[in-house]
Chains A and B, each alone.
Chain A
Amino acid sequence: MKRLGAWAALAFALPCGAVAEPVVYRLDPEHSFVHFEVLHFGTSTLRGRFGVQEGLVELDRAAGRGYALVRIDTARVDTGLPAFDARLRQPDLLASDTHPQATFVASSFSFDGDKVRAVRGEFTLRGVSQGVELRALRFGCHPHPQLQREVCGGDFEGELRRADFGASFGMPFVANRVRLVLQAEGIRQ
């Protein structure tokens, strides 16, 4: 809540157009996950998942602007294999002890009509920041049946080279290229 308060203050401080109505959404942890895919020995695709620890998105669909902040707890990587998860947390991959969080901060949104088409921002992993673009595979809004509030979200994909972040263990048996697939649903605040 404290963060949201600071966020709202920031939103007020931003210069807004006359018709611009920024709306703040908080990512729903039950419908927001960061999945990753990486090719194993050029043969099959390894998958893993991170829950979203904190996610705030501000959308001004009329003005075609947006801002997003997503934090994930790298120690909570989940591949379905506890031994593999433990290996991923080591210093030469996620380095969870020294860098417990990975973040994505984005302020470059592009829209197709009133739908988010792409989000470009900075992804920080192991303390290294690189630009990453997430493209919407689908985007939509629907009323949340229980909360009686608007939910906006979709599926996004992007890619990165893990060596760019220093997470290079296991190359080339396990590929450098990592595909990111994000499920994101934000509940209107």
Chain B
Amino acid sequence: MHKLLAASALSLAAVLPAQANTYTIDPTHTFVTYEISHFGTSTNRGRFDRKEGTVQFDRAARTGKVEISFDLTAINTGVAPLDKHLQSADFFDTAKHPSARFVGDRFVFNGDKVAEVGGTLTMLGKSAPVTLKATQFNCYMNPFFKREVCGGDFETTVKRSQWGMTWGLNMGVQDEVRLLIQVEAIKQ
């Protein structure tokens, strides 16, 4: 038993970077906002209000892993009938697939700042690769939590049809959706 434990600890130590720290997503400073063109005239925006996740992050080794899931029933556009339509089988089909999940483990650094995170976005039961580009990244000592907080702004543009979300494509509703991601995570 002891040997087994020791062996697992050893293999774990081999896998995990020496200074990997765990950060918990701060849900009050973590949001995904989507943008989609409305008939080429203006941009419709919506937001996902409930989420949770963790980040393993090692600045020295330049590695990391983020896992975050979003409750799609908490989609919020400011227009209640649109929120309802977005939750229907035409779009997110939240009755069958209530959440979306992003797992990112390809961290690219520029100096000691995260420049991009590549990973997999799963929704509607399908997984597709997504790369999030950082438009800013920073770590700071939060005076309220008295802990280090790391985070930034990330963005990417996806084609919703990759996840089988094709409603309205034949009526001119765009396939391209821009995702703007605010994220802050608190060191544990």
* CB-based contact B42/A155 at 8 Å: yes
* CB-based contact B136/A41 at 8 Å: no
Residues in B whose Cβ lies below 8 Å from that of A5: none
Q: How far is the CB of B181 from chain A (nearest CB, A)?
A: 9
* CB-based contact A155/B182 at 8 Å: no
* CB-based contact A43/B151 at 8 Å: yes
* CB-based contact A43/B28 at 8 Å: no
Residues in B whose Cβ lies below 8 Å from that of A80: 31, 47, 49, 76
* CB-based contact B38/A35 at 8 Å: no
Which of B33, B40, B43, B149 neighbours the largest number of chain A CB atoms within 10 Å of its CB? B43
A-B CB contacts (within 8 Å), total count: 91
Q: How far is the CB of B168 from chain A (nearest CB, A)?
A: 12
* CB-based contact B76/A78 at 8 Å: yes
Nearest neighbor of B144 in chain A, beta-carbon distance: A173
Can you list, as one digit per residue, whether each of B8-49 has a CB less than 8 Å from chain A (1) or not (0)?
A: 000000000000000000001101010000111111110101
On whether A142 and B41 interact (CB within 8 A), knowing A33-B78, A44-B29, the answer reads yes
* CB-based contact A44/B151 at 8 Å: yes
* CB-based contact A30/B82 at 8 Å: yes
Give residues in A with beta carbon < 8 Å to B.
Answer: 30-31, 33, 35, 40-47, 49, 51, 78, 80-81, 83-84, 138-142, 151-155, 173, 183-185
